[in-house]
Every structure is written in C-alpha cells, then in structure tokens.
Structure 1
Amino acid sequence: MTENTPDVSVIIGAYDAMPYLVKCLESVEAQTIGPDRIEIVAVDDGSTDGTGEHLEEFAARTKVPTRVIRQANSGGPSGPRNTGLALARGRYVFFLDADDYLGEEALQRLVEMGDKAGTDVVLGKTVGVNRNAAKSMWKQTVERADIYTSNVKYTLSAQKLFRRELLVRHGMRFDESLRTGEDALFTLEAYLRGSGVSVVADYVCYYLVGRADGKQVTKTGSYTLRFDSAKALMELIAAHLPPGERRDLLMLRPFIVTLLPQFGPVLLKQSREVLLDKMKRAAPLMAAYWTPGVAGRLKTEDRLRLTCVALDKPAELLDIVTFLKEGKQPQRVRRWGREYLAYPHFRDPAVGIPDSAYELRGAAGTLTVARRRARRLAGRVLRRVRGRVRRMRDERARAAA
C-alpha cells in the first residue's frame, strides 16, 4: 500500500436517487475518520432525475476525493457496484446505497474494528428509518462472530465493510444475472472465504431508509426472482461446505428468509397455478438441501409447511396455511416422551405426513418433553443425594458430641 492509499473506498451506486442522495453524500462528508482517509466512487446507473448532475456538483466542491462514473442503466444494483469495485483503491470498501446514510463515526469504528480483529468483514449496527431492519445480530459487539451459530448469517445485505484484498484475491463480484439476493450471495461468500467476521453493535453505523415512493428493489419483482436467489445461495453453501451440521446451519438462512415466505399467507391471495409453479420450483431445492438437520431447527409450523412442500402436498399446505391465518391454536399431544402440535392432517393415514413434522422441539431440535423429564429426574436425584449428605453430616456431628 502506498501513502496515498485510502483506508476506505465508499462505493455508491445510484439510480434516480434524488433527493435521498443529498443526505447520503453529506453523511460521508461528515465522517470523523477524515476526508484524507476515504474516497468516494459514485456510479450513476443511467438516472433521469438529476442524480448524475448532483454527483458531479458534489465531487467538484467536496474535500473527499470523489470519482463519478456515469453509465447506461444496468437494470439492478450489481452493475454499478461492480463498476465501483473495479475502481476502488482503499484497504477496505464499503457499499453505501444512495437512499441511505451513515452515522458520523461509522467508518472510523468499522476500520478500527477490522484492524484490531484482523477480520475481513465488519458489520455495523443498522437501524431502519421508515422501514424495518434486522435486530437480532446487534445485541453485543463481537470481534469474531461464529457465522454458523450466530445471527450474522441473517444479515447478508452489502452494506458492510469488506477488506478489498479478499475481494481481489478471489475475484469476487456481484452476480449481475440476479435481480434480488445478489448482495446475500456476495456477502455470504465473503463470510465463507474471509478470515473472520466482526460486529460493531454499540453504535448505529447505518441508517436504512424506506423510500416514500417504495422503489426499493427488494419490494419489487416476481416471486420467481426469490427462487433464483434461494437456488444461488444454496448452491454457494453446498460448494463451500460438505453435508453436515455446518452446512445445515447456514442452509437455515435461505430456507427461512427466502423460501418460507413464499409458502405462507400470500398463497391465499394467489392462484392454484402459482402455487403449483412454486412447488415445482422448490422441488429440486428440497430434494437437494432439505435435511433432518435443517428441519429439526425450525419452528413446528415452519417445518410442517416446508415438509408439505418437500412431499408435494399443495392441498394440505393450503389447509395448514389457512389454519395459521385464522389464528387457531393446535392441540398439544403427548406420547412416549414426545410432544406434538396437532395442526391439520396430524396422523391422517390418507395423507401420510410424518409425525416428525408436527413435533414440538427446542431451539437445537431436542424434544421439549424429554428435556423437561430429564431435568425433573436429575433434580430428584440431586435432592436425594443432598439429603443423604446432610443426614450423614448430622450423624457424624451427633457421634462427635
């Protein structure tokens, strides 16, 4: 690295981003890390609302070294991100969406964490502005998070700090053939290939803005795009991990985040043709990646819905979704140390859904009834042992007296 190498290249892909772009750029200009340690690579992806002109005006007056590239519309966020990545010079890169903005200390804190921990990906706490944002991964700051057991696998958006050397070494780029989920594919690959993942949770680094016009890419597009995204992510996981617990733990993400919503209440508003098409698209994914290790870690209702998908039972799936939509509570059934939730078609021999789909399990897939019984038994044994010890001590004390 030369003396002129910035710590961070902030890559901003922008398409019809006004007026949100104004605050976005101001937030980079206000970073406490200082203008001499960052650069902006801004890519106007064929905007028609003055976005490109505003970028050029900003570049002409700001103290932050800024390059503006104007290109024909690529149809998605991957194109401008790849253009910016190819031009970036920083030790790290940060992908900032033009609708969003940074906390003032964000880049300083993220770089300090990456340098201290020696990790290749650093996540900064994100909050939503007029929209929801993931929360479960921001409970504490962690120098090295376990990507398999922690919730960092549920935040795979691109708005993170990446060590550029990792991306260059592996020739990593965003998949421009995907119209949704391209950031998840890129980020998870970085998780898997990198030297570690850090979490900065004690400061709000990123503000995720909900646009009033609803033009976020994640809110648009056909359901078919979601299946393309799930397929790509599952194939990536399988390519990096052999069958087993670690693969199952990461497979939870595409099953829960991408596939499950396609087989929920939305089905009640869609035609039977759409349902059958969804089942057809899901079939090869279920055959390849639906395992007892994945199923056992899901909530009962989620496991049951996906079991119906795996067994190609669309009518039964609709019955279960309707039951859930109506807010009904299933009866609990206990038998042989196991506990079940009797959702529709439970133990219906004409349907043949296995009991395991209805089991009530703990967080790690262990049976709740068996666990409670084991704890009660252990408690009784411990109380008996303690009682015997006390009696022995009393007898010794009386004998000594």
Structure 2
Amino acid sequence: MTEHPSPDVTVIIGAYEAMPYLVKCLESVENQTIGADRVEIVAVDDGSTDGTGEYLDAFAARSKVPTRVIHQPNSGGPGGPRNTGLAQARGRYVFFLDADDHFGEEALERLVAMGDRAGTDVILGRIEGVNRNAAKSMWGATVERADVYTSNVKFTLSAQKLFRRDLLMRYGIRFDTSMRTGEDALFTMEAYLRGNGVSVVADYTCYYLVGRDDGKHLTKSGDYDIRFLSARRLMELIAAHERPGEKRDLLMIRPFVTTLLPQFGHVLLRQDDATLAHKLELAAPLMRAYWTKGVAGRLKPQERLRLACVALGKAEELKAVVEYERTKRKPETVSRRGRRYLALPYFGDRSAGIPDWVYEIAGPTPSQRLWRAARRRAGALLRRRKG
C-alpha cells in the first residue's frame, strides 16, 4: 500500500464477527464527502471466524481510502481493538466506528469543520438508531461549545465521536480493557474533562447505530455486578477531576441516573431479597461518597425517592416505592410553608425516616409562576409605551 500524507481523520474500526454489516460500514467511509485523500482507515480484526478478516484484506487492496488491517487474537471486548487502532493512527482526529454501524455521507466533513472552527477536542455528531434506540436529548441544537456540566452531552459517553488525537496522546487516554462494560464511558468522560471543549453537530445525522438482527454484540444485562463496577469507576474518575461542589454534582447525575437507578427499578420485583440486599451492599459506598443534596436536588422526586431509600438502606420501603410506581398513580401535590411536595409513599411518615426534602418539587409554585408572568407582561407593556 502506498503511504499517504497524514490525513485529517483516522477511522478506527474494531471488527469481530461483523459480516455482513461490515460491508455497509466500509462503504460509508469510502463515500464520505470529505474525500478519500483526507481519511485513512485502521481496521482491527479481533479474531473473527466469519470472513471479517478476509473481507477487510480485500477491501484494503482495492479501496481508494488508505486502509491498514491488523489481525489479532480475540480480546474479549471492544476496548482492545480500539487501543490497537489508536496506536497506529496518523490523523489529526480519530473516530471510533463500530463495524455494525455506518456514517452519514457528510459526517466527517461536518465534524472536522466543526472541530477546526471551534478549536474543540471532542466533537459529537447526531446519532440515529436503526432497529434500536439511540439517545436523543443532546441533539436539540448545534453548538460550537457545549457546557459538559449543564448540558446533556454528559449522557452520551459512547466512543462514537470525533476526538483530537493530540489530546489522547498527550494524556495517554486509552480504553480500560479490564472492564466488561463502561470502558467507553471512562474514555469519553476523561476526554471531556481534559479537553479544550466539546462541540455538537445536531443538524445532520452523522452516525447510524445499527441493531443487529442476530442480537450479537449487545451488552448483556444479567450481570449487575459489572454495572456497579462501571458506576464506581466513573464516579471515581469524576471525583479525581472535580472537587466536591456544584460541578462534581452536575456530572455525578450521569452515573446515578443512567447506571445505578435502573438497578433499583421494576427489575427488583423479579428478583429475590438476597439479590436486593447484595445490590444495596454494592451501592452503599457509592452513596456515602457521592450522594449529595446537590445531586438529589437535580433529580425528579420519584428518582430521588428511590435513591434516597438506597442511601438509607431501606429495602422494604424501596420495594414499596417501586410497586407504587408500577401502578402509575398520580401522586397528590401538597403545599407546606411555601414549599410543594409530591405525596409519594412514606411522605410525612416519621417512622420511615425519609426526610421531607426528598419529596420536594423544584421550581416556583403556581402562584409564583402567575406573578412572574404578570410582571413580564407589565414590563413588556411599559417598553412598548416608551418605544
């Protein structure tokens, strides 16, 4: 293969048993409007036995996009092939493209243009699911610099993003191959926190996240121990970069809501008491270290109540709360001394030991909203008269 000048982007593809999805994946790189001279592919065959390696070799021999193929024994997860590819990358940016997925045609052109214009180190492109769900909350608007703390970009920590390679090399950011799940969240969060800003391209679908018909490559949900390990590692990373306070609390919302909260949802009603006791044991050190009023106050009362039960080690109360949620009954709103509360289970029950603030509804009361609206209308009228 002829060596080309350093490209703008190295597309790193870790491939394991990826046929026939790999065909469209590679075609989507070839069809990028940025041009073949500005892209290279580093593809890592992670011990496939279904023809993936052979197809990669054939593609590299004929493609207009410079392609290097590395064959290695199966590593047991996506982090190993990604690290191998990163070590071989030459581009100013790298993009981790899963072999099941594919790009929108203008993806790399738009993402690189955004990174160069904004000077940011991590650039997110809009993702859509194909035969599977994809996160949506962070694609409301295209922004050159998103606030990691207050925006929803912290809820997308998958690896399918454009990263400035210099950032990853400077800090030695790599995927932790000892983890069975959550290694991409650690990688991406560290890049967020160490990098020179995060950009969002929301007005074009850059990436199509494909659900395989055979169900392969989906993270198994049965082993909950690895979920708690994933949450702990992410919390420790955040704590290492942010001192206690508002910024840390804003980031901690992500592991609490995305990783811990589902472990104490409706799934509990299908599990035995010993499993719940073990989950509470795993959660206890995390709640002691990182569960604060700053985190809790930014959650919905229903979420806050469940996690408050976890923090207090109240197994029976937690099960009752989950049972109540399953009924989908609408709780009554109670006003006390100018504050509003949702009368969820155990509200006002002093014997339960759950403080009232757990039930509080954030934001202004209805009367306060009316007063503020009237003040805005009066201000607008005054400005019109002056004009």
Report the TM-score when normalising by structure 2: 0.94
**Contact 1:43–1:80 (CA<8 Å) still a contact in 2?**
yes
How far did 1:375 drift? 4.5
Between 163-172 and 136-145, report the one with greater CA deviation.
Answer: 136-145
- The one-letter code of the counterpart of 2:143 is V
- The one-letter code of the counterpart of 2:245 is G
How far did 1:219 drift? 3.9
**Contact 2:4–2:66 (CA<8 Å) still a contact in 1?**
no
Query: Could you report, residue by residue, the CA deviation over 1:185-210 in whole angstroms, capped at 9, with x for unpaired residues?
Result: 10110010000111111111000001
Between 294-303 and 31-40, report the one with greater CA deviation.
Answer: 31-40
- The one-letter code of the counterpart of 2:66 is P
**Contact 1:38–1:64 (CA<8 Å) still a contact in 2?**
yes
Label 1:167 to 1:221 Cα distance change in 2 as closer, same or farther (>3 A): farther
Label 1:209 to 1:384 Cα distance change in 2 as closer, same or farther (>3 A): closer
Label 1:9 to 1:330 Cα distance change in 2 as closer, same or farther (>3 A): same
1:280 alignment partner in structure 2: 281
Query: Could you report, residue by residue, the CA deviation over 1:151-206 in whole angstroms, capped at 9, with x for unpaired residues?
Result: 11111110000000000000110011111111111011001000011111111100
Unaligned 5+ runs, structure 2: 383-387
2:40 alignment partner in structure 1: 39
2:155 alignment partner in structure 1: 154
Q: Secondary structure of 1:346's match? A: coil
Q: Could you list the structure 1 runs, at least 4 aligned residues long, displaced by more than 3 angstroms after superposition.
A: 372-387
How far did 1:378 drift? 5.7
In the alignment, is residue 210 of structure 1 matched against residue 208 of structure 2? no
Label 1:206 to 1:335 Cα distance change in 2 as closer, same or farther (>3 A): same
2:301 alignment partner in structure 1: 300
1:18 alignment partner in structure 2: 19
Label 1:311 to 1:19 Cα distance change in 2 as closer, same or farther (>3 A): same
1:395 alignment partner in structure 2: none
Query: Could you report, residue by residue, the CA deviation over 1:342-393 in whole angstroms, capped at 9, with x for unpaired residues?
Result: 111122222111111111223xxxxx32xx4444456778999999x9xxxx
- The one-letter code of the counterpart of 2:133 is N
Distance 1:383 1:39 in 2: 57
2:71 alignment partner in structure 1: 70
- The one-letter code of the counterpart of 2:112 is V
2:87 alignment partner in structure 1: 86
1:95 alignment partner in structure 2: 96
- The one-letter code of the counterpart of 1:282 is A
Distance 2:378 2:21 in 1: 68
- The one-letter code of the counterpart of 1:184 is A
In the alignment, is residue 228 of structure 1 matched against residue 229 of structure 2? yes
Distance 1:385 1:195 in 2: 40
Distance 1:381 1:199 in 2: 35
- The one-letter code of the counterpart of 1:15 is Y
In the alignment, is residue 130 of structure 1 matched against residue 108 of structure 2? no
1:393 alignment partner in structure 2: none
How far did 1:329 drift? 2.0
RMSD: 2.0
1:257 alignment partner in structure 2: 258
Query: Could you report, residue by residue, the CA deviation over 1:64-86 in whole angstroms, capped at 9, with x for unpaired residues?
Result: 11111111111111000000001
Q: Secondary structure of 1:218's match? A: coil
1:323 alignment partner in structure 2: 324
Higher Cα Rg, which structure: 1
**Contact 1:180–1:217 (CA<8 Å) still a contact in 2?**
no
Distance 1:5 1:304 in 2: 53
Label 1:376 to 1:34 Cα distance change in 2 as closer, same or farther (>3 A): closer
| Identical columns (%) | 69
How far did 1:220 drift? 4.6
Distance 1:31 1:261 in 2: 38
Distance 1:15 1:3 in 2: 27
Distance 1:386 1:206 in 2: 44
2:198 alignment partner in structure 1: 197
How far did 1:340 drift? 1.3
Query: Could you report, residue by residue, the CA deviation over 1:92-138 in whole angstroms, capped at 9, with x for unpaired residues?
Result: 00000001000011011111111111110100010000111111111
Distance 2:45 2:289 in 1: 40
Q: How many residues align?
A: 380
- The one-letter code of the counterpart of 2:77 is G
- The one-letter code of the counterpart of 2:315 is P
- The one-letter code of the counterpart of 1:167 is L
1:121 alignment partner in structure 2: 122
Distance 1:18 1:323 in 2: 45
- The one-letter code of the counterpart of 1:196 is G
Distance 2:378 2:177 in 1: 66
Q: Secondary structure of 1:350's match? A: helix
Q: Secondary structure of 1:285's match? A: helix
